[in-house]
Amino acid sequence: IQKSFVMMKPDAVQRRLMGKILSRFEDKGLQIVAVKLMQIDEELAKTHYGEHADKPFFPSLVEYITSSPSLAMVIEGEEAITTIRKLVGATNPLEADLGTIRGDFAMDTGRNIIHASDSPASAEREIGLFFNEDEICDYQIVDNNLIYE
Ligand code: GTP
Ligand code: MG
């Protein structure tokens, strides 16, 4: 069982897409173990996206992510990190397959509505940046025997 960090970006919140996007993860059989609506400040945005600090789009990325609240989440399941990246789709929504979240709801790389961890190391780092351990719920979904063999 893996945990991934997922974040609906300010455009998803502003566009009232939170419920629809959350349903994609629940419908797949993944388990939501933490959720927090939060205004991300500049420092946290820069740390979270630190790997892109030298890219030309970095200032606009930080401005976008801090423009309004985001919905930070921890989502759990078998192979959750890869599975969620597949559900999210390619970085550029015009290249993302239809049926993916970005493919269905977005048009522009700079407004691609959602973030998801890309590796176990990033998941661990990002979960630690956004959540305290006591904010992550450890619980059994009662019908998990219908989701997993
Ligand atoms: P995240 O899940 O948000 O990390 O996206 P990703 O892993 O699919 O892409 P990546 O980590 O390479 O880029 C992080 C974010 O920076 C993207 O989701 C975009 O919001 C933004 N970004 C990446 N490349 C570009 C670009 O060429 N132009 C602009 N404007 N934004 C970009
Ligand atoms: Mg990334």
Instruction: Say whether 115 is catalytic.
Output: yes
pLDDT at residue number 33: 98
What domain range is 27 assigned to? 2-147
Q: How many distinct structural domains can be found in the chain? A: 1
Q: Would you say the CB of residue 118 lies under 6 angstroms from ligand 1? A: yes
pLDDT at residue number 17: 98
Residue 109: is it exposed, middle or buried by C-beta count within 10 angstroms (0-12/13-18/19+)? Answer: middle
Ligand 1: residue of 82, 86, 109 to mutate (most ligand atoms within 8 A of CB) is 109
CA 20 to chain CA centroid, Å, is 14
Kindly report the CATH number assigned to the domain that includes residue 46: 3.30.70.141
pLDDT at residue number 4: 98
Residue among 75, 85, 82 at smallest CA distance from 26: 75
CA 99 to chain CA centroid, Å, is 17
Q: What is the pLDDT along the chain (149 residues), one digit of tens a residue?
A: 999 999 999 999 999 999 999 999 999 999 999 999 999 999 999 999 999 999 999 999 999 999 999 999 999 999 999 999 999 999 999 999 999 999 999 999 999 999 999 999 999 999 999 999 999 999 999 988 899 99
Cα dihedral sign, 85-37-23-31: positive
Which residue's CA is the closest to the ligand 1 atom numbered 9? Answer: 91
Cα dihedral sign, 66-68-69-70: negative
Q: Would you say the CB of residue 58 lies under 6 angstroms from ligand 1? A: no
Question: What is the value of pTM for the model shown?
Answer: 0.96
Instruction: Say which of 3, 46, 48, 115 is annotated catalytic.
Output: 115
Atom of ligand 1 nearest to the CA of 9: 3
